[in-house]
A and B are shown apart, each in its own frame.
Chain A
Amino acid sequence: MSGHVHRDYTGAKFGMWLFLYTEVLLFGGLFILYAVYLARYPQEFVSAGGQLNVWFGGGNTLVLLTSSLFVAVSITALRRGAVRLCQGLLGATVACAALFMVNKFFEWSAKIDHGIYPGSAQLKKLAPGEMVFFNIYYLTTGLHGIHVVIGAAVLIWTMVFIKTGRVHADDWVILENAGLYWHLVDLIWIFIFPLYYLLLH
């Protein structure tokens, strides 16, 4: 490349991080809600949490951790010039996102079939603490699910940029920022999994 092209990678990455902090505070609010009601209804949270399927939660944990690995490796691959490997890893990440949502579909379907969803007659018959648990569960995992879909869309958009040559070994900050967003999705699930699915005692 001839001449000096000014690229403000620090600014681009810092901007992305600032946005991620707003996301942390958004989900942080939901976790505070969870903590307050857990302190108020410890028994009800255990009895309601025990009804969640740990296999769905655990399976999706493995899917997201692995997808995070794929994204992290894809940046190294691109910077080393292994464009096909990078594209393959990003494709695998999008496949992981789809698998996550399929799992979520079956998980929510099973709960809804049992009449457990916000505002349902069945939910109103439960103890107040159990009702609160399921409401926060749907709110938090629903908002997280939207983030999974957005993250997958951003990664597909980045794959198009790599294909057209706009993102390449010497100019990869768009992939870096898309990756940061995807890791945030993984990060939030790291907290959702034990708090909602592993509440056994």
Chain B
Amino acid sequence: MTYWAHKKAFPMTEGQSHIIPYRTFILIWATLLILTGVTVAVAQFNLGALNIWVALGIATLKAGLVVAVFMHMKYEQTLFKLALLSALAILAIFIGLTFSDVLYRTP
């Protein structure tokens, strides 16, 4: 088997996967710190119900950066990404079913 044929057949088995440079990680870390600052700053203002949604939005953005770059999800095969989506879909179903119950109960 030639080198390239082998690589095609076993894309990740040889440790040839992408080495992420230090600079990328430092940029992501700096972004995470800035987003932390933003979420603390926004929490000082009373936006009513919007406060919790802004906090969750920024946290989700931070989590996305950690998963994509720190945890290399961006560089993984489609299988890994599909599994991540499945786990998140299951969590969303749990949340949806729970709230479809508790929000419509009459005390």
Chain A interfacial positions (CB closer than 8 Å to B): 6-10, 13-14, 17-18, 21, 24-25, 28-29, 32, 35-36, 38-40, 54, 58, 61-62, 65-66, 68-69, 71-73, 76, 79-80, 170-172, 176, 179-180, 183, 186-187, 190-191, 193-195, 198-201
Contact = CB atoms under 8 A, between A and B. Distances in A.
Interface of B is mostly: helix
A201 B17 CA distance: 46
B107 to A, nearest CB: 9
Contacts of B25: 69, 72-73, 76
B51 A9 contact: no
24 contacts: A7-B14, A8-B13, A9-B15, A10-B77, A24-B88, A32-B94, A35-B98, A36-B98, A58-B36, A69-B70, A72-B20, A73-B22, A73-B25, A183-B66, A183-B70, A186-B66, A190-B66, A191-B56, A191-B59, A194-B43, A194-B58, A198-B55, A201-B43, A201-B47
Given A14-B79, A76-B25, A7 B15 contact: yes
Given A14-B83, A68-B70, A190-B59, A76 B19 contact: yes
Nearest to B6: A4
Contacts of A71: 70
Interface string B39-74: 110011111100110011011001100110111100
The SS class assigned to the A binding surface is: helix
B6 to A, nearest CB: 9
B26 A69 contact: yes
Given A10-B12, A36-B102, A201-B48, A191 B63 contact: yes
Contacts of A54: 40
Given A194-B56, A198-B43, A198-B55, A76 B22 contact: yes
A29 B26 CA distance: 32
Contact of A194 (B55, B80, B90, B99): B55
A170 B13 CA distance: 11
